[in-house]
């Protein structure tokens, strides 16, 4: 079971095509070629670390399996890799 600091999650999202939209929660929308897609995840501003259950929720929102989210957060999966995976699954069309 892995635990990730919230700051690291935010940083990974921003480096890989997501943009922050501050509402009640910190919302991160995926952008492709300047266009906002339907992929969105929420990151709490009051929690310092994300454990297994919250990481599972983030993975689901991002259309990833839990192990794939680990790769995304650990920089083993880049922006282009993520888009290719979403395209392969039919979540987005490139």
Task: Give me the residue label for tokens 């995926």.
Answer: 30
Domain count, the chain: 1
Residue 94 lies in a domain: no
Q: Strands 18-22 and 26-32: what pairing?
A: antiparallel
What does the alpha-carbon distance between residue 31 and residue 33 come to, in Å, rounded to a whole number?
7
Residue 20 lies in a domain: yes
Question: For residue 28, what are the domain limits?
Answer: 4-89
Tell me the pLDDT of the chain averaged across its residues.
Answer: 93
What average pLDDT does range 5-27 have in this prediction? Answer: 91
pTM confidence score: 0.91
Task: Give me the residue label for tokens 């929720």.
Answer: 57
* CB atoms inside a 10 Å sphere around CB 85: 18
Residue 57 lies in a domain: yes
What does the alpha-carbon distance between residue 84 and residue 3 come to, in Å, rounded to a whole number?
26
**pLDDT value at residue 24:** 73
**pLDDT value at residue 94:** 87
């Amino acid at each position: 079971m892995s635990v990730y600091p919230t700051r690291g999650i935010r940083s990974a999202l921003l480096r890989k095509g997501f943009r922050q939209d501050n509402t009640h929660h910190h919302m991160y929308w995926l952008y492709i070629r300047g266009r906002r897609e339907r992929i969105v995840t929420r990151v709490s501003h009051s929690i310092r670390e994300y454990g297994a259950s919250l990481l599972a929720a983030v993975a689901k929102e991002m259309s990833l399996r839990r192990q794939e989210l680990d790769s995304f957060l650990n920089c083993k999966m880049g922006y282009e890799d993520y888009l290719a995976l979403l395209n392969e699954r039919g979540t987005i069309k490139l």
